[in-house]
Structure 1
Amino acid sequence: MALLLTLSSTAGAGQLPVYRVLSEGGTPSYLVGTMHSEDPRVLARLAHLTPLIEKVDTVVIEMVPDAVALLAVAAATLLPVDQNLRGVVGEAGYWALRDAAEERGIPEAVLNRLKPWAAAVTLGMPPAKTGRFLDMEIYLAAQQRGRPVVGLETPAEQLALFDDMPTALALALLDDTVKNAAQQPKQLEELTEAYLQGDPDLLYRTARAQYAKMPPALVQWYTGQVIEQRNARMLERLAPRLAAEAVLVAVGAMHLGGDTGLVAGLEQLGYRVEPWSEMSVR
């Protein structure tokens, strides 16, 4: 499950999921699906986007990753000072967590301070090496080119997805992450290869095949809260900006495909949304 939060011919020859968004008489905007990954194959796709950043007025991302936002996220992962993870999950469950964290090089002192959902995300994601993922690179590229960057969500809204989870559901997420740790490298490669094909619907199907194996309550939470509810919020906030100026919108690729994705939503609002490639540049 935690891997799915990254979203989002051969993989090395693929393209980014990019769409051109057109309205009658308007300047084209662009919709980009990103993947929260340090994989060099993913980061190499930034070169496809820099010409588009230069063509638009504003860059729109999920959340602006400035220092204030990153500090808020870091603080929100910690349990209250009078609690620890060992006490929340119980002795039997904690030892399995400690072993999994040790394999990842996560000190027990750090693990024991994390909320259950934060421990699940930490253990379920590839270890960070550089902190330079595609979303951050887009943000920095926009700043370097003097383009304003705005977020579709606030840190508080993103964190509420997890902080509002019932404790039992957060523990189920953590348990599922630990039990499936051995499968994570294979699952991540499947998601990355699907992403690099540049087809959001393929990525959507690949991810659905992975999370369909999880407990039904987690599937319902992920589909409803992480994807569909946020799709609706993003679309509502994106619509007036698209009507006002040319923008490049970069959000997790899982938010593009499917019946409730942004591509379908923009089409329902009357926009023409078409796949873009470098051959499309005019």
Structure 2
Amino acid sequence: MPLQYMTQLILFISMFFYSLSPLLAKDTDTQVIKATSLPLAALAKGSLPEKGLCWEISKPGQASSYLFGTIHSEDQRVLQLSDSVRQKFDKASSLSLEIQMGDEVIEKLAGTLFLPDSENLILLLGKEDFKKLFQTMSQHGMLVNIAMRLKPWVAMMIVIMPKTKTGLFLDKYLQEQAKVQNKAIYSLESVEEQLAIFDSLSLDKQVRLLRATVKYLDNIPEYLENMHTLYLAQDLAGMEKLSNEMMKTEDPELEALNLRLMQHMLSKRNHVMVHRMQARLQEGNAFIAVGALHLVGKEGLISLLQQQGYQLRRID
């Protein structure tokens, strides 16, 4: 697989895991909801955020740090940080990301992408489903001899990955800016931890998820666009609602598999990230950037940080 696709794939896995995860197990024709504008509510202790991408994290005796929700997008409106967010980023001493992108990460990823020599996606899916799948994969520049060798979960991620023009997605942009400013850069997870979520699934379950995704290919662009619109509106509640709507399925086995994935992709990862960001929070003046939907929910990062005695204040 060309280097650019490995890079984009791991970026996508890292930053869009949760916001697109409902698509991985979608097996009904639920209509994609449209972007909505929700009222801003003050974030009292124990309450959950409705809007806001950047949050000040404070606790007596510690210098404030900042939590910022990202999206896997190269749209200039996304890359153009607000003046207040840009100020917090520029003044920060460190940047923490889900994972840092680099040659070492890409090398680790390369060894996990492909099926054994005895297997291929044509055999696993059948000719018709593979043909439909490859029509989308080819739009990302994939060659058929490479596409047919990919593990089912890898093929699944590629077909729901936004097409790239510049390759400068928000998470990558922040990392490059931090390097220019000589900030310390930290990872909250390892690439092995992220990839293990799917590699731990049996091949049969991976194929089941891929078949469900193939059925839903025509709806993915609309979903991506709606999620993007909600992000630009800083509408966390709307993003969460859209993901929850897309998670509904009439297949109980598929729903159980989806719930298992969600537990790993969201809840467990959030607890791990909160634990690993503690050193940065104690240092203070840290800028922590993770996928926006990690912020929301009862087991979201904002709620977990509140439970540890931190105060969260929205930065406009």
Quickly name the TM-score band, shorter chain normalised.
Answer: 0.7 to 0.9
For residue 108 of structure 1, report the CA deviation from its aligned partner.
Answer: 0.9
- 2:88 aligned with 1:52, yes or no? yes
What is residue 9 of structure 2 aligned with on the other side?
none
Aligned length: 273
Q: Match for 1:5 among 5, 14, 17?
A: 17
Q: Partners of 1:181 and 1:126 in 2: how far apart?
A: 12
The alpha carbon displacement at 1:90 in A equals: 3.8
Evaluate the alpha carbon distance shift between residue 176 and residue 197 of structure 1 in structure 2; reply closer, same or farther with a 3 A threshold: same
Question: 3-state SS of the aligned residue for 1:274?
Answer: strand
**Structure 2 residue identity aligned to 1:136:** K
Residues 1:252 and 1:187: Cα distance change in structure 2 (over 3 Å): same
Contact 1:33 1:200 in 2 (8 A): no
Tell me, in whole angstroms, the C-alpha distance in 2 between the residues paired with 1:213 and 1:189. 22
The code of the aligned residue for 1:225 comes to H
Deviations 1:225-244 (A, max 9, x none): 11111111111111232123
Q: Report SS of the residue matched to 1:38.
A: coil
Does the Cα contact within 8 Å between 1:21 and 1:30 map onto a contact in 2? yes
- Contact between 1:4 and 1:207, CA under 8 Å: does it hold in 2? no
Are 1:232 and 2:271 an aligned pair?
yes
TM-score (structure 1 length as normaliser): 0.87
Question: Any conservation in 1 of the 2:18–2:266 contact (CA below 8 Å)?
Answer: no
Whether 1:257 aligns to 2:296 is yes
Q: Deviations over 1:95-122 (max 9, x none)?
A: 3323443455432112112100000011
Query: Per-residue deviation at 1:46?
Result: 7.2
Matching residue within 140, 146, 149 for 2:182: 146
Q: Is the 8 A contact 1:16 1:195 kept in 2?
A: no
1:274, 1:78 → 2: CA distance? 44
- Percent identity, aligned pairs only? 29
> TM-score with structure 2 length normalisation?
0.79
Cα deviation per residue 1:229-282 (whole Å; 9 max; x = unaligned)? 1111111111232123321000011110000000000000000011112xxxxx
Q: Is the 8 A contact 1:117 1:174 kept in 2?
A: yes
Picking from 153, 160, 164, the partner of 2:200 is 164
What corresponds to 1:181 in structure 2?
217
* 1:100-158: CA deviation from partner (whole Å, max 9, x where unpaired): 43455432112112100000011111222222110000101111101011000011111
Which residue number in structure 1 is paired with residue 26 of structure 2?
A: none
1:102-141 alignment, distance < 5 Å: 102=138, 105-141=141-177
Unaligned runs of 5+ in 1: 278-282
- Work out whether residues 68 and 288 of structure 2, in 8 Å CA contact, stay in contact via their aligned partners in 1: yes
Q: Once the two structures are superposed, what CA deviation does each residue of 1:27-47 show, in whole Å capped at 9, x if it has no partner?
A: 110000101122333222376
Aligned 8 A contact 1:34 1:250 in 2: yes
Aligned-residue offset at 1:58: 1.1
CA distance in 1, matches of 2:171, 2:16: 15
What is the Cα deviation at residue 82 of structure 1?
4.1
After superposition, the CA RMSD in angstroms is 2.5
Q: Cα 1:217–1:92, aligned 2, differ >3 Å: closer, same or farther?
A: farther
Q: How many angstroms apart in 1 are the aligned matches of 2:87 and 2:120?
A: 48
The answer on whether the counterparts of 2:56 and 2:64 sit within 8 Å (CA) in structure 1 is: yes
Please say if 1:31 is aligned against 2:67. yes
Bigger RCO of structures 1 and 2 (CA < 8 A, at least 6 apart): 2
Amino acid at match of 2:276: R
- 1:270 corresponds in structure 2 to 309
Where does the alignment leave 5 or more consecutive residues of structure 2 unmatched?
1-12, 21-34, 38-50
- The separation in 1 between residues aligned to 2:57 and 2:86, in whole angstroms, is 17
SS at match of 2:303: helix
CA distance in 2, matches of 1:140, 1:152: 17
